[in-house]
Amino acid sequence: MQYVVGKETSVLQCGRLSDKTVNVRPNLPGNVIVIHGVNDVGTSYEAVEQGLCAGLKKRIGWDYVPGTYVMPQASDKGKLRDDPDDVFFKRKMNEKTDSPVIPFYWGYREE
């Protein structure tokens, strides 16, 4: 997903009464690379990212929005997946995600 600083729509017209305001995201205070253990697939990534974003909001007052993660549900217990590591605990971003966290996965392959 492409990182978008600000996005808004408007109709262009001559002699308009006011300008269209575009809210721009603040710069990130840095990047945090989260690495899981060898025998762990990143089960704590969601909690870590939520905690870091909440801490930054409390500390510097910026409203960071953590990414979401696909977590196994009770209904997934009986399902057999070819590669569960490729499905669960992976970060999902949307247009509202604004977080300094970069999750690192062992054996990462660029697609």
Examine residue 11 and state whether it is found in any structural domain, yes or no.
Answer: no
Residues whose CB falls within 8 Å of the CB of residue 1, separated by 6 or more in sequence, listed in order: 93, 94, 97
Examine residue 38 and state whether it is found in any structural domain, yes or no.
Answer: yes
Q: What pLDDT sits at residue 63?
A: 86
Q: What pLDDT sits at residue 108?
A: 60
Question: Number of structural domains, the chain?
Answer: 1
- The arithmetic mean of pLDDT across residues 10-28, rounded, is 78
Query: Per residue in 36-47, pLDDT tens?
Result: 777 777 788 899
Examine residue 86 and state whether it is found in any structural domain, yes or no.
Answer: yes
Determine the residue type at 8.
E
Examine residue 14 and state whether it is found in any structural domain, yes or no.
Answer: no
Count of beta carbons in the 10 Å neighbourhood of residue 103: 21
Examine residue 89 and state whether it is found in any structural domain, yes or no.
Answer: yes
Examine residue 79 and state whether it is found in any structural domain, yes or no.
Answer: yes
Distance CA 86, CA 82 (A): 9
Q: What pLDDT sits at residue 29?
A: 80
Query: Per residue in 68-110, pLDDT tens?
Result: 998 888 888 888 888 777 778 888 888 888 899 888 877 666 6
Residue 50 belongs to domain spanning: 32-104
